[in-house]
Amino acid sequence: MKKIQMVDLKGQYEHIKDRVNSSVIEVIESTAFINGPEVHSFQKELEEYLGVKHVIPCANGTDALQIAMMGLGLKPGDEVITADFTFAATVEVIALLGLTPVLVDVDPVNFNIDIEAIKRAITPKTRAIVPVHLFGLVANMDAIMEIAAEHHLYVIEDNAQAIGATYTSKNGTKQKAGAIGHVASTSFFPSKNLGCYGDGGAIFTNDDDLAHIIRGIVNHGMYIRYHHDVVGVNSRLDSIQAAVLRAKLPHLDTYNAARRKAAKKYSEAFAGVENIISPSCFCSTEDFGCASCDCHVFHQYTLRILNTDRDALVKHLNENEIPCGVYYPIPLHLQKAYLDERYKEENFKVTNQLVKEVVSLPMHTELDDEQIDFITSTVINFVTK
């Protein structure tokens, strides 16, 4: 059996090596390292793929979130609601801009922001909601857009983990994750579903005015060279990363299908096993949770492990040379940087529980059946012993 990896970037690279190498060398030969033609072409190709009017490339996914919030003109004191169970980047940029993060609990079935919790958290100061499409599964955007419309709030999708996922609304409309809210951010960090070979990110919006504002913000607040109309930042995707992304974008659907296939095989093996809850969503009619449904692109395949010492399972997997991860081990509302006396523990029941139960198994485009069989039998033997 091939050695199991959490993410197999090398294996994926082998299939696209010729195109990547020649494109990267072309950029070097051209010396158009910053804002070269590769960046512009990638932007156009991604707009087309997502069905979104504007893609603004930037330096990373954290910048993308921050720039989206700057573009919306959010001001110190404005409250921004987001999920307690996510990567810290989301809450970090809210705090950095002097906005007030309002963390809320998540749903135990799909791990995404809890709709009722959003409603309870709205105050006259609330300006925006940031749903995170966690682990590759699109949040309940119908409900979130409805709440936002009712309360005149912006919706910023943190799409760092769900690029390529398709969301089907109640009325049957299909949209790509990141094309639904007022603005969205994504990350091209190497291990993301569409990863480059360094740092990268982008902001998406269908709003022409907002796109114009954001294009200035990423470039030191300049709309005319050396005229600084607003306080901006320096946040660019470099041409070498754009060349890598252009080589990978045509394969994104195939990559996500490979992830879904692996997820389906995992979920089939875990079906009916006591003490294991496989990932799921609300919109699927398929047999194995959301493993066959296009609103999930499995950035992570994350189980809940019940009545078992999760940390002992992690140790056991590692002893068997099965890498795994605990995303995330600590709720954001309990992180020192984000403590807030207004938070009450009884409002974070789900996150407090999930951090003790979750384990993410190897997930990438190169997993084979033999590896998945070994992983699932090792997990099952441990939790049922």
Site for ligand PLP, rule CB under 6 A:
60-62, 86-87, 89-90, 132, 158, 160-161, 187, 189, 199, 201
The torsion region of residue 16 among left (phi > 0), alpha (psi -120 to 50) and beta comes to: alpha
- CB closer to ligand PLP out of 136 and 288: 136
Pick 163 or 383: Cβ nearer ligand PLP: 163
Tokens of 308: 């078992």
The distance of closest approach from Cβ of residue 96 to ligand PLP in the complex, given in angstroms and rounded to an integer, is 13
Nearer to ligand PLP, 74 or 91 (CB): 91
> 133-154: buried (b, 16+ CB within 10 Å) or exposed (e) per residue?
bbbbbbbbbbbbbebbeeeebb
How far is Cα 144 from Cα 153, in angstroms, rounded to an integer?
A: 10
Closest CA to 358 of 295, 289, 284, 308: 308
Task: Give me the least distance between CB of 82 and ligand PLP, in Å please.
Answer: 10
Instruction: Tell me how far, at minimum, the Cβ of 134 lies from ligand PLP, in Å.
Output: 7
Q: Which is nearer to ligand PLP, 74 or 269 (CB)?
A: 74
**Nearest residue (beta carbon) to ligand PLP:** 61
Going by C-alpha positions, the residue among 271, 299, 253 that lies closest to residue 61 is 299
When the beta carbons of 12 and 187 are compared against ligand PLP, the nearer one is: 187
Nearer to ligand PLP, 50 or 132 (CB): 132
Identity at 277, one-letter amino acid code: I
> Beta strand pairing status for 154-158 and 126-130?
parallel
CA gap 247, 6 in Å, rounded? 23
**Smallest distance, ligand PLP to C-beta of residue 292, A:** 24
Alpha-carbon gap, residue 56 to 58, rounded angstroms = 7
User: How near is the Cβ of 188 to ligand PLP at its closest, in Å?
Assistant: 7
Q: What CA–CA distance (Å, rounded) separates 130 from 86?
A: 11
The dihedrals phi and psi of 167, each to the nearest 5 degrees, come to -105, 130
154/44 Cα distance (integer angstroms): 25
Q: Specify the residue, 82 or 239, whose C-beta has the smaller distance to ligand PLP.
A: 82
CA-CA-CA-CA dihedral for 243, 248, 249, 254, to nearest 10: 170
- Shortest approach of ligand PLP to residue 141 CB, angstroms? 16
Q: What do you get for the CA distance between the two ends of the chain, in Å?
A: 25
Smallest distance from ligand PLP to CB 337, Å: 16
Report whether 306 contacts 108 (CB < 8 A). no
Q: Which is nearer to ligand PLP, 106 or 160 (CB)?
A: 160
Between 158 and 366, name the residue whose CB sits nearer to ligand PLP.
Answer: 158
For residues 179 and 202, which CB has a smaller minimum distance to ligand PLP in the complex? 202
- Work out the number of other CB atoms within 10 angstroms of the CB of residue 44: 11
Q: How many CB atoms lie within 10 A of CB 311?
A: 12
Decide: helix, strand or coil at residue 243.
helix
Nearest-approach distance from CB 268 to ligand PLP, in angstroms: 27
The CB-of-157 to ligand PLP minimum distance in angstroms stands at 10
Q: Least distance (Å) from ligand PLP to the CB of residue 385?
A: 33
Residue 280 vs residues 135, 288, 291, 310: alpha-carbon distances, Å: 11, 8, 8, 20
